Structure 1
Amino acid sequence: MDWGVAGGLAAEAGRFDERRLLVLAGGPDSEPLAAARQALDAAAVPMAETSYVGPESALPCEHVPFDQADSLLGTTRDAVVLDCRTACRPNVLGTVVGAVDGGGLLLLLTPPLDDWARRRDDFDETLAVPPDSLQDVTGHFRSRLVQTLRVHPGIAILDLDTDTVQQDGLTDSAPRLPPDPIQRPPGAEAVPQAIVDACVTQDQVDAIAELAALRSGPRAAVLEADRGRGKSSVAGLLAAWFAAEGERILVTGPSERAAEAFFDRVEDLLGVLDPESPSSNAGDRTFETTTGGCIRFVSPTSLSEHLESADVLFVEEAAALPVSILESTLAVDRLVFTTTVHGYEGSGRGFAVRFRDSLEQARHDLQEVSLVEPIRYAAGDPIESWASRALLLGAGPVPGSVIETASPESVSYRSLDSETLLAEEQLLREVFGLLVSAHYRTEPDDLARLLDGSNLAVRALLQDGHVVSVALVAREGGLPKATREQVSHGERIRGNMLPDVLMSQLRDEDAGGPVGIRVVRIATHHAVRGRGLGSHLLDELDVEFAPVVDWIGSGFGATPELVRFWRENGFRAVHLSTGRNERSGEHSVLVIRGTSPVGHEIETAHGSWFAGRIRGVLRDALSEVDPDVIRATLAATAQPPPLSITPHQWRVIAGAAFGPGLYSVDPEPFRKLIAHALIDGGVDLSDTRERLLVEGLLQGRPWEQVATDLEYVSRAAAMRALGRALQPLVREYGSDVAQSERRRYEN
């Protein structure tokens, strides 16, 4: 093998401050690990600056297991070797690309490229959803990946089986003009010259000038950029400046290693702004300044314990944190969030999709600052454009102007199988881009699931050939008895979310037998929302699938709006999880609608059980859930349980509603009545009254908190309002004894 190809590739990468990719393709007898070592030697890349991402330590350099690949987020390496022979994991690929520095190499160890799409690996096993087998998984993702490797510039391919160079990867680009000198922008007088000098691009200086407003609060800044634009460096320079002025700075992120670039810039700048400040201890990124300022990293799990001590909080890789943690940061007056616009951050888009609305409604003045100029590598880096295409990192929905006239009457319903999406790149980009823009968890792995998953299908509404609404649906259930028994004994069943919960958590082993369709994701283009397109898409799904399955359902992070959407489309809630989703920070709700006699039986049985049991967990695991989520979920429940209230209990309830009685002498019948009324929907209560009943009685929150939440002037005022809120319930549902007691007080 001519290893000079690797040397030439590395030399060109260094000359243009770009990255290059080297594919080492071959069978098991080709010794790809030895080939990787020879390629790195030929490229003069030191092992100390190399990471090997693979199943086991196999090279004399840092070893990163697949499941720890996100530890490379925020770091830079001269070379990363990714072993794709046993598994090709899109999330891992997206992560490691971002860790390669300008002038560096990414090495992919692959099977023979002509055979790769036909092979099945460890990642494919996760796409084979029972009762399907591994042979039901396609290889379309890898087929597309190989095609991108063969056509993009900057990618060399060496065939280890034949000792041939299939392509050398050289771009032979023309030399670039030097960048313009960095200028201090107008209005940046307060920014120390040392910070201007520390910036590498004009983009960074302009961002620092804008972010100088964070010296006073309450203010929150969102610093967005594609990977490699130096957003962590900007945040680190800003933190060092504030600490040198005596501010107390907290930093958090998915890991301390993810903030490595941040702390490198802190250390560099503090050495100039406050040269007498002590250096941080080895392995302890804590800095103190002579002015009384400090900077320290706090893990997300312990962040809430330290928020009161922060003058400014910096959140690195914000999209990688659960929304519940992001919500807690709003207690700090001054905030800086850094987040990647296009790229894999370990969790999808929780920040952009779920948390952004909360941030815009918070007490903070909001600043949005973007960085465009690359800093880790030169503009036009070919590996950045390859990764963007291969993983659809930059995919988005079609411009709104193209589909602005879309309506349920004008769109067409279309089944988009994976062969069609593979053949029609623009259609694939629109489908995946719409899912990315509308959902907090869409990630590169989902592209492979969409193209290869054994039980997944795509249905869409198209306007003039463009996607305006899309649903990703999964066939679930149809599980053999042996599998259902295993689940009932504690095993989990991959890819069958609704049957798995019904069988394992809710102990209904028979629920895994009927076949259903779960709507995994549904999204409508932002430009045409509110026109009934999402409902129209569900109607079309019903027409297609209802005759051949037993149920249609979904599971999603519960928000009042989403729960109402599904209820208005005929779906009924059968479960509300007691734990929060670790990414969205929300409690998941399961909804279902039967489409056959056995499906209707599942809907009725679990809907009735849910209606009877939900009251029991509202004062426990669900006590802090948004009352509007509880209201919406109760309203989406099919049938209220029978009201089993004794005559004496009715007297107590009526006495508290219309007279001097107290609910506290026997709260349980009050809770039965309220849950029954909110599920039944027979009484038209104001939003405030429903929230009062949910918070004060169903969730049992302290009355001081209830009064504050609902803006009553005092605890006593909230409790007086409780009596008035109970009155229409007694009138509607009360027994003869209750009505007699009511009339005593009304007369």
Structure 2
Amino acid sequence: MPSLDLLRYQQAFARLGQRRLLLLAGSYTWQREQLRAIQQQCKGDWLILSSEMSEAIKPEHAHQLLGREYLHAVFDANHAFNADALAMLTGTLKAGSWLILCLPDIVQWQHYIDNDSQRWNDAQGVISTPHFMAWLAKITLADKQAIIWQASQPLVLPEIKNTGQQWALPQGMPTIQQRQLLAHLLQAKSGVWSITAPRGRGKSALAGMLIEQWPGSVTVCAPAKNSIEVLLSHTHKTIEFYSPDNLLALCHTEHLCRDWLIIDEAATIPIAQLIALCQHFPRVLMTTTVQGYEGTGRGFILKLGDSIPKLQNYQLTVPIRWAQDDPLENWLNQLLLLDEPSFHHANQSGEVVITSCQHFDSEQRANFYQLLTSAHYRTTPLDLRRLFDGQKQHYWSAFIHRHLVGAVWCIEEGGLAKALAQDVWRGIRRPRGNLVAQSLVTYGLSIEAMCLTSLRISRIAVLPAYRRQKVAAKLVADIAKQCQKQNIDYLSVSFGYTDALANFWQQCGFSLVRLGVHKEASSGCYTAMAIYPISAQGQQLLQVAQQALALQSDYITQQTGISLATALPSASEADHWLMMAGFAFAHRSILTVYQSVGYFLQGDRSRYPLLVAFFIDKQSVEACVKQFSLSGKKALVTTLRRQCQQLMAEKDEQLAQAYQHWLTTTSSGHFCWANRPHHPIYH
């Protein structure tokens, strides 16, 4: 009986502190039959991750498992293969655990349609993923420790190599590495420390031990309280816990006298929040993994070190929750390239050789991805999936003495139908993808950004040792040169705004065209967008995009404190009319009309107190809702649109009617950008 064989096998590898992969490849009915038999024999938690099974946790909720421990799990990948979720699930499994991976027959893998691909495929839609599935087959079939059970073949169990030593889980006692770190931290007077390690090395346990042994006060911070279960299990003390947002708010209103702040799962918290929190405590300990599936890479430590120069980083290398050389960990690390990349060659000056391609072989892909992991903040298995099978991707690599030192990842944007671009401009559609092109249409004066062809620089990374040799600038210059040959209209980039990055992109020939007014969670920076015009139409787009930016510049500066020093073209009266019409008669964002409302209100503000309060005095939504007795935000926006219509009609009734007619012909499907009213309507 195979399930009984698997029980004996599980008992054998559990004694060695190992975890194992069991691949079930066959029909869904066959898989369920085997799962029931195995679960009856091998008792455990049997956590299930699946987008199909009713009793399962959805893969998109896998992050809620971080900081917990389970015995045995099932990863149902019959219809969707969420690599991030697989890695998170694997990291929660105790020694002696099965990870059962459910997939169709191996012969079907080359035609596997992955429903998870709509998460990362910028070309939109669900696609087949033959390259990743071929990689999965290569890694798994070559793994001597993986158990592969196909419906069409009998179960064969590989021999377990008995080392002669029975493994034992440390019973609350620190390991040698933990003991050394604890001794150092317990003597600390002040400072910021980070402890990085792959999963299962005892980072959270060490934090709990520090709390238990520290005689004074400690505050704990993490993205969610259920993620600190391991930490809690290593102390008998009552924990003072806060989420990052709540703790920051408390720090701004009260003076907290605490000896330590411990931040668990630090890489999942925006850098800006981490820096702010560090300023309120004399001693701070951050624990995090260096593996990409929690949204970071080694780049997290690099970026944090740039902001906190005296940061002291320590590493834990020896696994605690399972034995060294764990078969499941080895398989996962190979599959998702999670091992720390070894870019240790010394900095060498020399000629920068640049190559480009649209497809990689296995070695090239691994090197490219691991460079991103080493040098770029927040590189995850989702990026790896995109590297394998994402559509409309282009890659540039920079080499010095045949060493890969820099990489750029570009994604095609634009080239879309005018009908779609028109709907985006009016605010009635918001399709996935086309990040910069769509944003320029959503907030701009033209639909052309989505219709022209462009390449967006999605990632750019250079090894730290080579960042003074203009490698990044040379990569960008080569991209621009090749785009000229391929009739691309413009290059674009989206980045977290800093003066240094803005200056870099400006020196590369890019001009700022968008700046968000809300900080992005990942970087703690405002989102900036810039373009590099290549064709004549690209040049025209830049002009129009900067006119739109000029219309929003005062509000942007007020909200962000960032002065748009670039000489922006002046907005015309026609620009104000177009922006006002899009908000008043269509569904465009409030952000598009702050300055235009002020332009229309010149000379007579007394009759529109709501417009003045919201657009001129910049009162909050809540304040305006209360002051003007409105039912909520939706009612506020409706009233603002209606009053903007009235304001336009007072300015020029005939022109306002022309814009209204142009923008409200959606039901007949006759809306056409080219038919927009000319300003002025009469001469």
After superposition, the Cα gap between the structure-2 partners of 1:198 and 1:174, relative to the gap in structure 1 and judged at 3 Å, is: closer
Q: Give the secondary structure class of the aligned counterpart of 1:3.
A: helix
Give yes or no for contact 1:33–1:58 (8 Å, CA) kept in 2: no
CA drift at 1:133: 5.8
CA drift at 1:349: 6.2
Match of 1:266 among 235, 251, 273: 235
The question of 1:585 aligning with 2:581 is answered no
* 1:421 counterpart residue number: 361
CA drift at 1:35: 2.0
Count of residues in Structure 1 that have an aligned counterpart in Structure 2: 570
* 1:73 counterpart residue number: 66
Cα RMSD over matched residues?
2.8
* 1:54 counterpart residue number: 50
* 1:111 counterpart residue number: 104
Give yes or no for contact 1:126–1:494 (8 Å, CA) kept in 2: no
After superposition, the Cα gap between the structure-2 partners of 1:397 and 1:557, relative to the gap in structure 1 and judged at 3 Å, is: farther
Give yes or no for contact 1:12–1:170 (8 Å, CA) kept in 2: no
CA drift at 1:253: 1.1
* 1:557 counterpart residue number: 496
Give yes or no for contact 2:25–2:105 (8 Å, CA) kept in 1: yes
Give yes or no for contact 1:153–1:171 (8 Å, CA) kept in 2: no
After superposition, the Cα gap between the structure-2 partners of 1:347 and 1:255, relative to the gap in structure 1 and judged at 3 Å, is: farther
* 1:282 counterpart residue number: none
After superposition, the Cα gap between the structure-2 partners of 1:351 and 1:539, relative to the gap in structure 1 and judged at 3 Å, is: closer
After superposition, the Cα gap between the structure-2 partners of 1:173 and 1:544, relative to the gap in structure 1 and judged at 3 Å, is: farther
The question of 1:205 aligning with 2:179 is answered yes
Give yes or no for contact 1:74–1:99 (8 Å, CA) kept in 2: yes
* 2:659 counterpart residue number: none
Percent of pairs identical after alignment?
27
* 2:38 counterpart residue number: 39
Give runs of aligned pairs for residues 243-258 of structure 1, distance below 5 A.
245=215, 247-258=216-227
The CA distance in 1 between the partners of 2:158 and 2:543, in whole Å, is 61
Give yes or no for contact 1:226–1:372 (8 Å, CA) kept in 2: yes
CA drift at 1:163: 5.1
Match of 1:311 among 259, 263, 266: 259
The CA distance in 2 between the partners of 1:490 and 1:348, in whole Å, is 38
The CA distance in 2 between the partners of 1:227 and 1:613, in whole Å, is 46
Give runs of aligned pairs for residues 99-248 of structure 1, distance below 5 A.
99-130=92-123, 134=126, 138-160=129-151, 162=152, 164-165=154-155, 167-176=156-165, 198-214=172-188, 216-217=189-190, 219-242=191-214, 245=215, 247-248=216-217
Between 1:302-311 and 1:437-446, the stretch displaced more is: 302-311
Q: Look up the equivalent residue of 1:376 and give its one-letter code.
A: R
After superposition, the Cα gap between the structure-2 partners of 1:169 and 1:178, relative to the gap in structure 1 and judged at 3 Å, is: closer
The CA distance in 2 between the partners of 1:240 and 1:92, in whole Å, is 32
CA drift at 1:57: 4.7
Between 1:502-511 and 1:585-594, the stretch displaced more is: 502-511
Give yes or no for contact 2:396–2:408 (8 Å, CA) kept in 1: yes
Segments of 5+ residues of structure 1 without an aligned counterpart are 183-196, 271-286, 288-294, 624-629, 645-667, 669-699, 701-747
* 2:662 counterpart residue number: none
The CA distance in 2 between the partners of 1:429 and 1:69, in whole Å, is 25
After superposition, the Cα gap between the structure-2 partners of 1:386 and 1:146, relative to the gap in structure 1 and judged at 3 Å, is: same
The question of 1:369 aligning with 2:314 is answered yes
Give yes or no for contact 1:22–1:105 (8 Å, CA) kept in 2: yes
* 1:278 counterpart residue number: none
* 1:327 counterpart residue number: 275
Give yes or no for contact 2:115–2:126 (8 Å, CA) kept in 1: no
Q: Give the secondary structure class of the aligned counterpart of 1:431.
A: helix
Query: Normalization by structure 1: what TM-score?
Result: 0.72
Give yes or no for contact 2:16–2:166 (8 Å, CA) kept in 1: no
After superposition, the Cα gap between the structure-2 partners of 1:143 and 1:641, relative to the gap in structure 1 and judged at 3 Å, is: same
Query: Normalization by structure 2: what TM-score?
Result: 0.78
After superposition, the Cα gap between the structure-2 partners of 1:177 and 1:27, relative to the gap in structure 1 and judged at 3 Å, is: closer
CA drift at 1:259: 0.6
Give runs of aligned pairs for residues 507-518 of structure 1, distance below 5 A.
508-518=446-456
Give yes or no for contact 1:9–1:169 (8 Å, CA) kept in 2: no
Match of 1:505 among 443, 456, 464: 443
The CA distance in 1 between the partners of 2:443 and 2:374, in whole Å, is 32
Give runs of aligned pairs for residues 88-107 of structure 1, distance below 5 A.
88-107=81-100
The CA distance in 2 between the partners of 1:468 and 1:33, in whole Å, is 48
Give yes or no for contact 2:406–2:462 (8 Å, CA) kept in 1: yes
After superposition, the Cα gap between the structure-2 partners of 1:344 and 1:127, relative to the gap in structure 1 and judged at 3 Å, is: closer
The CA distance in 2 between the partners of 1:70 and 1:558, in whole Å, is 28
The CA distance in 2 between the partners of 1:346 and 1:8, in whole Å, is 37
Q: Look up the equivalent residue of 1:156 and give its one-letter code.
A: I
After superposition, the Cα gap between the structure-2 partners of 1:640 and 1:486, relative to the gap in structure 1 and judged at 3 Å, is: closer
* 2:589 counterpart residue number: none
Match of 1:458 among 389, 395, 398: 395
Give runs of aligned pairs for residues 259-658 of structure 1, distance below 5 A.
259-267=228-236, 270=237, 287=238, 295-307=239-251, 308-309=255-256, 310-330=258-278, 331-346=280-295, 351-360=300-309, 366-396=311-341, 398-401=343-346, 404-407=347-350, 410-418=351-359, 420-422=360-362, 425=363, 427-488=364-425, 489-506=427-444, 508-547=446-485, 548-619=487-558, 621-623=559-561, 630=562, 634-635=564-565, 637=566, 639=568, 641=570
CA drift at 1:170: 3.9
The CA distance in 2 between the partners of 1:570 and 1:601, in whole Å, is 15
Between 1:587-596 and 1:114-123, the stretch displaced more is: 114-123
Give yes or no for contact 2:548–2:571 (8 Å, CA) kept in 1: no
Give yes or no for contact 2:550–2:571 (8 Å, CA) kept in 1: no
* 1:714 counterpart residue number: none
CA drift at 1:328: 2.1
Segments of 5+ residues of structure 2 without an aligned counterpart are 574-594, 596-617, 619-683
Q: Give the secondary structure class of the aligned counterpart of 1:101.
A: coil
Q: Deviations over 1:155-207 (max 9, x none)?
A: 111113x2532x5244324223879x99xxxxxxxxxxxxxx84242111112
CA drift at 1:26: 1.3
Q: Deviations over 1:295-330 (max 9, x none)?
A: 222122211133433332110010011223212212
Q: Look up the equivalent residue of 2:273 and give its one-letter code.
A: I
Q: Deviations over 1:320-373 (max 9, x none)?
A: 112232122122111110011234224556742433322225xxxx43322122
